[in-house]
Structure formats: C-alpha cells, structure tokens
Amino acid sequence: MIRIRTLLVACVLGGSFAGCATTQPWEREYLAEPVMEPDPDPDRALLADHVRTVREGAIGGFGGGGGGCGCN
C-alpha cells in the first residue's frame, strides 16, 4: 500500500514539473503558432458577421455596437 502511494505521489510530482520550461524572449516566436490565435483571420470573421447580419437580420451578439434604439 505504501509503495502504491509513493508511486502515485512520484507520478503526480513528475507530471507537474514536466510542463515547466524557461524560454528567452527571442525563442518565443517559435512557440507562438498561428493556430493558437483565438481569431487567426479577423477580417474574415468580420465579413462573416456582416453577411450573417444581412442575410438573417441577426444584429449583435458578436460584440457589435448598438444602443438599443434599432439603428446600426
């Protein structure tokens, strides 16, 4: 029983330290992949929101403006 606990604690501690890494500022460009961006192409998303607004009449919900008066 003590061996199992010891092994479990060792695995948890080993796993928690496995993700720690120190990077220099000039190395960070290699870690910043375009896939990791929340919105890799903001112009395309803006166009898609505009098309959705025109086709469906669905205005707002995407952080768009509007004061509640019905005007865009």
- From first to last of the 72 residues of the chain, give the pLDDT tens digit: 888 899 989 888 877 776 677 778 888 777 777 777 777 788 888 888 888 777 776 665 555 555 556 555
Domain ranges in the chain are 33-63
**Residue 25 vs residues 21, 22, 37, 55: alpha-carbon distances, Å:** 13, 10, 19, 45
**The model's pTM:** 0.33
C-beta separation of 64 from 49 below 8 A: yes
